[in-house]
Amino acid sequence: MGILDPTPPPYDPLEWIQKPLPERGRMVCESWALQGYGTPSYVYLVYALKVAAYVFAWFFFCSRSAALGGISEVATWWLHPTAFLKAILWSTGFELLGLGCGSGPLTGRYLPPVGGFLYFLRPGTTKLPLFERAPLIGGFRRTWLDVGLYAATLGLLLRALLSDTPGTQEIAPIVAAFVVLGLADRTLFLAARSEHYWTTLVCVVFAGNWIAGAKAVALALWFWAGVSKIGPHFPAVVAVMTSNSPMTRFAWLRRRMYRRFPDDLRPSGIAVTMAHMGAALEFGVPILLLLSTGGTSLVVGMILMLMLHGFITSTVPMGVPIEWNVMVVYGAFALFWAHPEVTVLDLGSLPLAGFLVVMLIALPLAGNLWPHAVSFLLSMRYYAGNWAYGIWLFRGDSVRKLDRLTKTSPWIYDQLERVYDHRTSVGLVGKVLGFRLMHLHGRALPLLLPKAVDRYEDYEHVDGEIAAGLVLGWNFGDGHLHRESLLKAVQAQCNFAPGELRCVFIEAQPLGGRTQRWRIVDAATGQIDAGELAVAELLRMQPWGPSDPAP
């Protein structure tokens, strides 16, 4: 193996891809349990260097403020409110450029390793407007007006970052621009992590004391992340993350994440315990920081916060929200540690309080109760394993019809085969199937894929995340980005014949619900089947199908 080579799976990928789904699923799940994605070690170094570049760029923007200083004086100014504002503005721009979440090999991006601005600055690329038929900003293809809006928003962010002390004059236009961007392409609103950054900027513009509003946003992020762990899905996430973590490359430890490797790959008691501990942390951190005004409780809350985000970051989760985790940790220090005397009750604006009730309480609650209606990002259901997702099935070489789209990323195998041989490429992409099956919601696939197509081996299996990355220029675990609306946009441009492209769409389990909805849709003829699956049935299954484990 060379430094660029992924860990090879314990089977021949070219033989593996010819096998029926149950056999293929079992082989790739056993491989994932011990190898994870098989990412080359150098990839983690690249992500670490990207985090360093993100932080040093923040240093540069802070150096433009007279109230702050250079890197040598960072200890004196790093918790200053202006430094925090520039961190929020830079993080917004970083994500909007496509450099943060959803970038690099761990999200199915190889050459190029980012989408973002490569798509959003190019007319003709596919977008998802909030209202398809709206004049000027509707339609499925990006126009020069869309490109101009995106470029102007980046310009407004740069203007604020280079200003001495960003205030309402600099930030209010950014807040307004994001409303228009979200209407023109909801992908952009989500890609910028607006549930966190945009909501915080709204507080800066309208609050009497914006630190109180920023605290409310941070508390909501932790609290709703904890709520999302209620239910049976999270233990599988812990097992999958541990199997993929660069910090836990011990076969004995990875085996203990499962009940009885290799025959029973459901989460073990250890994984379940770790899941409960993680959920407890996500509830404990906001409760302690909400109630604390300093002293021991504040110290304990900060330690628990560092434990929580330290674990998440150490696993380098698929989707790689590393910079976002860095920002959350920094925000905890800049808001709670530096200003323990400020509480969320010091907001000083009744209209803004109403806005925050909608964004931080009503919308996440609706997203947990009716997950089919709200993005998991706006619902703040992070790392839960209970997400909407989709599988795109292309018959034969019909996948080449995607070449009719305006995009900047080639087909996934075309990207990989600039570096690897075909066998290695198939083995690497095949691990995405293992990732999906190993989660509780993925156990629906052995039941639903036979309903979608007559002969699975005749189809190219593509996770919706890869499809969204190729077509939209951004993907980050939000199955709502690659469901019927994207399929409709793709069909309008590619004209798949009946049976050439079938999609299986699975929704998240509602909070307090017992089932998960599913739909099977043909690109040409529309929905052909739908129903619900009992989560209790999925819990009894192995990742590769409904066979009982060996006694």
Res. 19 pLDDT band, cuts 50 70 90: very high
Per-residue pLDDT, 70: 84
SS (H, E, C) 11-31: CCHHHHCCCCHHHHHHHHHHH
Q: Average the pLDDT over 350-378 and give the result.
A: 97
- Does 188 score more than 70 pLDDT? yes
- Does 549 score more than 50 pLDDT? no
This prediction's pTM: 0.95
Q: Average the pLDDT over 16-21 and give the result.
A: 94
The set of residues, in sequence order, having a beta carbon less than 8 Å from that of 12 and lying 6+ positions away, is 423
**Separation CA 468–CA 479 (nearest Å):** 9
Res. 71 pLDDT band, cuts 50 70 90: confident
User: What phi, psi does 506 have (nearest 5°)?
Assistant: -120, 130
pLDDT, tens only, 159-186: 999 999 999 999 999 999 999 999 999 9
Encoded tokens for 217? 């946003």
Res. 3 pLDDT band, cuts 50 70 90: low
Q: Average the pLDDT over 68-79 and give the result.
A: 90
Element (H, E) at 309: helix 296-315
pLDDT, tens only, 267-316: 999 999 999 999 999 999 999 999 998 999 999 999 999 999 999 999 98
Res. 1 pLDDT band, cuts 50 70 90: low
CA nearest to 470, candidates 396, 403, 411, 394: 411
**Separation CA 117–CA 341 (nearest Å):** 40
pLDDT, tens only, 517-534: 999 999 999 999 999 999
Average model confidence (pLDDT) across the chain:
95
- Does 427 score more than 70 pLDDT? yes
Q: Average the pLDDT over 389-405 and give the result.
A: 97
- The single-letter code of the amino acid at 489 is A
Per-residue pLDDT, 2: 58
- For Cα atoms 223, 220, 87, give the angle at the middle one, nearest 5 degrees: 125
Tell me the sheet residues that pair with 515: 534
Tell me the sheet residues that pair with 542: 545
Residues 191 and 476: beta-carbon distance below 8 Å: yes
**Separation CA 316–CA 444 (nearest Å):** 26
- Each domain of the chain, given as residue ranges in start order, spans 13-38+387-540
Per-residue pLDDT, 430: 95
Per-residue pLDDT, 156: 98
Q: Average the pLDDT over 453-481 and give the result.
A: 94
**Separation CA 475–CA 472 (nearest Å):** 8
Res. 42 pLDDT band, cuts 50 70 90: confident
pLDDT, tens only, 129-145: 999 999 999 999 999 99
Per-residue pLDDT, 318: 87
Per-residue pLDDT, 551: 33
Q: Average the pLDDT over 112-135 and give the result.
A: 95
Q: Average the pLDDT over 391-411 and give the result.
A: 96
Per-residue pLDDT, 431: 96
Element (H, E) at 158: helix 144-162
- Does 371 score more than 50 pLDDT? yes
CA nearest to 512, candidates 353, 320, 365, 346: 365
Res. 550 pLDDT band, cuts 50 70 90: very low
